[in-house]
Amino acid sequence: MAAQVPELWRTQLCIHGSGHRNHQGDYCSYAHALWELLPPDESTQRFTTAWRDGKVDRWYGQPMEAEQIFRIYTYACELHPADVPVWVRGALFYNRFRLNRQHTVSRNWSIYDQFMPWDYGLHADQLLLYRMRLEKKLPFEEPSDLWTTLRKRKAIMSEDCL
Ligand SMILES: [Zn+2]
């Protein structure tokens, strides 16, 4: 893994796993837990390519590579299901079909998902991104079916409450 610029510290999960700390004598700048993940620091400059090239593992609704989803899934499997962050559930829910095609997935999170917000907190997470960035817009192109998929989930959840 290449050394990261400070603005990209902890934007990706370390491929060496949660127990890793040092890399070739230096402190490893990758995240070793889901809660450590950060968006790029874009307060002074844009990192559009990092978003586009799958170097941001914290999910804000951006398109993700199958390898990213599998990294997130692998780290999530180390946690008790109740400790898996809401955004992780959203990323796994939205990308579940892609992940299942490419990788063996043994854990089923869905029993816990019925208690999650309909959008997995994505709207609030995106508002934070807007506020943090010099340019007040999302740094990526959202997949066209993202909000449609989440609103379908909302409709199903509303029916369950009747
Ligand atoms: Zn590491």
Q: How is the chain split into domains, by residue range? A: 48-161
Structure tokens that stand for 103 in this block: 């990788």
pLDDT for the residue numbered 52: 94
Tell me the per-residue pLDDT of 38-52, one tens digit each, with 9 for 90 and over. Answer: 999 998 899 999 999
Cα 85 to averaged position of ligand 1 atoms, centre (Å): 20
pLDDT at 4: 74
- Ligand 1 center to 4 CA (angstroms): 12
Residue 3 pLDDT: 55
Residue ranges, the chain, pLDDT below 50? none
Distance 143 CA to ligand 1 centre (A): 30
What is the structure's pLDDT at 110? 67
| Each residue's pLDDT tens digit, 103-119 | 666 666 666 788 899 99
Q: State the pLDDT at residue 1.
A: 53
Q: What is the pLDDT, as a whole number, of residue 22? A: 82
The model carries a pTM of 0.88
